[in-house]
Amino acid sequence: MSLNLSNSYQALGEKFSQQTSPTPVAQPSLLLWNEPLAKVLTISLTKEIDAELIAQYFSGNQLIEGSKPIAQAYSGHQFAHFNPQLGDGRAHLLGDIADNQGKYWDIQLKGSGTSNFSRQGDGRCALGPALREYIMSEAMFALGVPTTRCLAVVTTGESVYRERPYDGAVVTRVAASHIRVGTFQYFAARGDTQSLKKLTNYAIKRHFPELTAKSSESDEDNKADNEISSQQVLKFFSAVLAKQIPLVFSWLRVGFIHGVLNTDNTTISGETIDYGPCAMMNAYHPETVFSSIDRNSRYAFGKQISIIQWNMTRLAETLLPLVDGDEDEAIEKIEPLLTQFHQDLQQGYLSMMARKIGIDEPAEGDGKLINDLITLMKDHKLDYTQTFVFLTASLTYSSTEQDNVSGIEVLIVEALKNWLPQWNNRIGSFKKAAHTVMMKSNPVVIPRNHHVEALLESCQETGELTALNKFLAVLRQPYTETPDTKNYQDAPVDGDKDYHTYCGT
Is 425 known as a binding-site position?
Answer: no
Radius of gyration of the chain (CA): 24
Is 89 known as a binding-site position?
Answer: yes
Residues 6+ apart with CB under 8 A from 197: 225, 226, 227, 228, 322
CA dist 99 and 39 (Å) reads: 8
* Cβ-contact 370, 350 below 8 angstroms: yes
SS3 74: coil
Is 180 known as a binding-site position?
Answer: yes
Is 372 known as a binding-site position?
Answer: no
Bridge partners for 256 per DSSP: 280
Residues 6+ apart with CB under 8 A from 281: 255, 256, 257, 288, 301, 384
Tell me whether strands 279-280 and 256-257 are parallel, antiparallel or unpaired. Answer: antiparallel
Can you say how many angstroms the Cα of residue 400 is from the centroid of all Cα atoms in its chain?
Answer: 42
Is 122 known as a binding-site position?
Answer: yes
CA dist 290 and 282 (Å) reads: 11
CA dist 135 and 486 (Å) reads: 18
Catalytic residues: 264
Bridge partners for 159 per DSSP: 167
Is 123 known as a binding-site position?
Answer: yes
* Cβ-contact 66, 96 below 8 angstroms: no
CA dist 460 and 458 (Å) reads: 6
Is 314 known as a binding-site position?
Answer: no
Is 87 known as a binding-site position?
Answer: yes
Based on the number of CB atoms within 10 Å of its own CB, is 27 exposed (0-12), middle (13-18) or buried (19 or more)?
A: exposed
CA dist 412 and 390 (Å) reads: 8
End-to-end alpha carbon distance in the chain: 30
Residues 6+ apart with CB under 8 A from 68: 7, 10, 19, 95
Is 365 known as a binding-site position?
Answer: no
Residues 6+ apart with CB under 8 A from 294: 79, 259, 260, 277, 300
Is 4 known as a binding-site position?
Answer: no
Bridge partners for 272 per DSSP: 147
Annotated binding site: 87, 89-90, 110, 122-123, 173, 180, 265, 274
Annotated binding site for ATP: 87, 89-90, 110, 122-123, 173, 180, 274
